[in-house]
Amino acid sequence: MDIFSPVDGSVISQVADTTPEEVADAVSAARRGFDVWSARSPMERGRALRRVGEAMLQHEDELAELEARNLGAPLPSSLAMVRRAAQSFFYFGELADKVAGDVVPVEGDYFAYSKREPHGVVAAVVPWNAPIIFATKKIAPALAFGNACLLKPAPETPLSALLLERLMLESGLPEGVVRVLPGGRATGEALTGDPRVSLIVFTGHDGTGKAIAAAAAGNLVPTALELGGKSAQLVFADAPANRLVEGLASGIFANAGQACIAGSRILVERGAEEDLHRRLAERTRAIRVGDPLAPSTEVGPQTTRTQQEKTERMIRDAVAGGASLLAQAELPDSADLGDGYYVAPTLLADVRPDMEIVREEVFGPVAVLASFETEAEAIAMANDTEYGLAAGVWSTDVARAHRVADRLRAGTVWVNTYGVISDRMPFGGIGRSGYGREGGRAAVELYTRLKSVWTSLHDDEVTRDIELP
């Protein structure tokens, strides 16, 4: 497979496309590796994961440059992603030996307890918008709790995952326990359709998520799906002025808008719109778009040509349908951008609720602005979507902030901030945004399964003192 750089459209690498036969071999090796890995003590597994985190930090510049060239994120953002990703190995390395079951009081002379054990082989399929983060947030917990893990990165952005695989093996992980399988649709179908896979975790488009869920159902394999979003940011008149504009802008324009949590619907209380629209428009026009390796760049290109064309088409359709172009950043001269996949950060106003750009995920640096009169109307507008991944509330009224957060239909709500993510907190969506939770104790529940154990304490022969159904 040719791997393109969104910076200038050039081919920066070639990567072998994993065949279905090679996928089957990898699953076989992972099952063997699982037997070895799951037998190791949680403490030993934790130490191994922490070594991986340390190796990532030792190679952070190399990983960050790969991510910047392949993903298109500005170099400081790419470096932050790598450091954030390394923390997954430290956190779950520490959590590996904190997994415990329960002793349960039961009737009769029995000692009963539950314990958590690994599923087996975990298939992880991740998207192209934050490759190193999505790779580690699935691999680290899977391995911490004793599973083997096979990762299929997006065909467009496999480079950082392949380097990560090398670092994991050099850090002492057993052969077969972890493997990166680059490839396209056939590779993904072979992996998620293999009946020997015990758990499937996926982040990506909801259409692909539905296909994976259907394949998993045929094999009765549990799944967790983190899908898209169309997240609203609710701005009340008493929003904290000192952090509002930067918070809104980073919430939609970070990573060129390529984030499932992107706060792409900005809902503003009537009476506060004029000032906020002016300030947000000024900030949008001032955004520096360009080569992600240039120090001054704030927003780089879209990661794929297809995504660039989709974003530009959705902007054109919205304007043709009556939306107003409130503000747009300037792109550098075409001579400076070459054949890169750049899209100008854009603010649209005067949108209607039925417009595609209001209802569907753009996955680009585009926000739509609308107004509300009352708190109830704001909540209704925010919840008027099939997605349910995230939302933001901007208000200095603490009671209102908690009241609105309770009524928003979203897996995560941020108050007076946006987009903060931690391995310590559960994360996931509802509706078209998927199901299942990763992070914190929720990750323990996702990557392990419960087993119940009954031990008789009778001294004499076994008697049946419980009627079975």
Cite the active site residues. Answer: 226
How many Å is the Cα radius of gyration of the chain?
A: 24
Q: DSSP letter at 256? A: G
**Alpha-carbon distance 448 to 389, whole Å?**
24
Neighbouring-strand partners of residue 450: 116
**Alpha-carbon distance 381 to 385, whole Å?**
8
The two beta strands, 390-394 and 178-180, are unpaired
Whole-Å CA distances, 30 to 152, 162, 179, 193, 196: 14, 17, 8, 15, 10
Other Cβ atoms less than 10 A from the Cβ of 103: the count is 10
- Give me the DSSP letters along 281-317: HHHHHT--BS-TTSTT-SB---SSHHHHHHHHHHHHH
CB 348 within 8 A of CB 366: yes
Other Cβ atoms less than 10 A from the Cβ of 237: the count is 16
CB 369 within 8 A of CB 347: yes
**Alpha-carbon distance 100 to 102, whole Å?**
7
**Alpha-carbon distance 347 to 345, whole Å?**
7
Q: DSSP letter at 360? A: S
Whole-Å CA distances, 5 to 13, 66, 82, 132, 331: 9, 10, 18, 16, 18
Other Cβ atoms less than 10 A from the Cβ of 57: the count is 14
